[in-house]
Amino acid sequence: MNLTVIIPAYNEADHISEILKRVQSTKLAKEIIIVDDASKDGTRDILTKMDGKKKVRIILHERNQGKGAAVVTGLKAAKGDVLLIQDADLEYNPRDYPVLLQPIEEGVADVVYGSRFLGGPHRVTMFWHLVANKLLTLMTNVLYNTILTDMETGYKVFRREVIDGMTIHAKRFNFEPEFTAKVLKRNHRIFEVPISFNPRDYSQGKKIKLRDAFEAVWTLLKYRFMD
* Spatial distance between the Cα atoms of 42 and 126, rounded to a whole number of angstroms: 28
Which pLDDT score is estimated for 63? 96
31 strand-pairing partners = 4
The dihedral sign for the CA sequence 209, 127, 224, 76 = positive
> Could you read off the pLDDT tens digit of each residue along the chain, which spans 227 residues?
899 999 999 999 999 999 999 999 999 999 999 999 999 999 999 999 999 999 999 999 999 999 999 999 999 999 999 999 999 999 999 999 999 999 999 999 999 999 999 988 777 777 888 899 999 999 999 999 999 999 999 999 999 999 999 999 999 889 999 999 999 999 999 999 999 998 866 555 566 666 778 899 999 999 998 87
Q: Provide Rg for the chain, Cα atoms.
A: 16
Domains of the chain, by residue range, sit at 3-225
Distance separating alpha carbons of residues 156 and 150, to the nearest angstrom: 11
How far, rounded to the nearest angstrom, does the alpha carbon of residue 55 sit from its chain's CA centroid? Answer: 20
Segment holding 62, helix H or strand E: none
CA distance 19 to 38: 18
Q: Can you list the alpha helix ranges (DSSP code H) found in the chain?
A: 16-25, 43-50, 67-77, 97-105, 127-144, 175-185, 210-225
Question: Which H or E run includes 39?
Answer: none
Report DSSP letters for 134-192, one per residue.
HHHHHHHHHHHT---S-TT-S-EEEEGGGGTTPPP---STTHHHHHHHHHHHTT--EEE
Q: What is the CATH number of domain 3-225?
A: 3.90.550.10
CB 177 within 8 A of CB 151: yes
Q: What is the pLDDT of residues 160-206, one digit of tens each?
A: 999 999 999 999 889 999 999 999 999 999 999 999 998 866 555 56
The answer to whether 30 touches 2, Cβ cutoff 8 Å, is yes
DSSP 8-class letter at 41: S
Cα dihedral 109, 121, 174, 206 sign = negative
Whats the size of the chain, residue-wise? 227
Between the alpha carbon of residue 178 and those of residues 114, 140, 166, the distances in Å are: 17, 11, 11
pLDDT value, residue 206: 60
Give the model's pLDDT for residue 135.
Answer: 95
What's the angle, vertex CA 158, arms to CA 152 and CA 159, rounded to 5? 160
